[in-house]
Chain A
Amino acid sequence: MAAGIGVVGVVAQERVLPLTELRSGIEFAGPEVRELQQDEFANPGMLWVERGARLWSEVPRTAKAQSCAGCHGDAATSMRDVAARYPRIDSTSGELLNLEARINQCRSERQGQTPWSFESQELLSISSLVSHHGKINGLNVVIDGAARPHFEAGRRLYYQRVGQMNLACAQCHEANWSRTLLAERISQGHPNAYPAYRMEWQSLGSLERRLRACYSGIRAELYPFGAIEHRQLALFLAWRAQGLPMEAPGVRR
């Protein structure tokens, strides 16, 4: 953690968006969406958080396996400082993991269970629970050391024009944020609300699903769920949004 703080001090010099211009996606949403996100009861994402809390203490069918709570205790305290640091390098495998991959790693290696499939209700429930308890934190990812090549790859993906529309992420979310695209105001494209409840989906979804929706919108080829490209891009996005508080579960159009 101490190393992480040091890193922020260094990279803060080369921010893409100065702190004074950093705006969470919720600031581009209408008053109804803002109200829904802030209402801890009516926010539909809380249904997943609540289910996650039940799953957290559920002992898997296999006799020797423990529940999440068996190792990690109360998620409200043990998961306070977790979600804001993902994606991050896993110290044992050296791989770049996002929160969902980390949860599944725990599930298969420590609980001996079949990993949950991408966007399954169970995986979304646990990831939204963990993200919700990390809400007090600002995004704070490590981008040096083993993470550096992934970060650079993520930066390249961000500025790479792709798809039939030949657009890069930056053309909307850096050059034209706050302008309108049909009926929508273009946000700065920060990942701090995910997993989020999107009206369009009528469901909670992960950041990966949101990235795929953007790629689909510009008619580019979609990376499959679990692709390293999504994690690399997410790492760059998290660094770009550093300092923004987490909002999970967010509510978006």
Chain B
Amino acid sequence: MAARIQLPAQARRGEVIEIRLLVQHPMETGYRYDEGGQPIARNVIRTLSCRYAGEEVFRAEMSQGIAANPYLQFTTVALESGDIEFSWVDDEGVAGSERQRLVVTG
């Protein structure tokens, strides 16, 4: 599972920064049927969380109402240089993660 993270190249201490995330995932609703008429099992990302330097700063609980390849955007306050790390788990138990380093100056 691929994912993309977008952070500012660097941030000043105390600055409010925008974090964007795009995850590749089918977000199968469980409401569809395949060509043989069999129901396709639901498979959506259930929980997704973001840690900044080890501390959780964002969490999303998603359901079948979210489109495929979910896009998330939120803000946080830049405090120190550290990893922004996303991790998520879907209905099939497949876990994914992606991280990127945030550089804080001043």
Contacts and interface: CB of A to CB of B under 8 A. Distances in A.
Interface string B1-30: 010101000000000000010101011000
A17 interface: no
Contacts, number: 31
Interface stretch (A41-49, A63-71, A161-169, A215-223): A41-49
Interface stretch (B35-43, B53-61, B66-74, B88-96): B66-74
B24 to A, nearest CB: 4
Contacts of B27: 202
A34 interface: no
- The DSSP consensus for interface residues of chain B is loop
Interface of A: 41-42, 44, 46-47, 50-51, 199, 202-203
Interface of B: 2, 4, 6, 20, 22, 24, 26-27, 67-69, 71
Given A41-B4, A44-B69, A203-B26, 12 more contacts: A44-B22, A46-B4, A46-B22, A47-B2, A47-B22, A47-B69, A50-B2, A50-B4, A51-B2, A51-B24, A202-B27, A202-B69
19 contacts: A41-B6, A41-B20, A41-B22, A42-B20, A42-B71, A44-B24, A44-B69, A44-B71, A46-B22, A47-B2, A47-B4, A47-B24, A47-B69, A51-B24, A199-B67, A202-B26, A202-B67, A202-B68, A203-B68
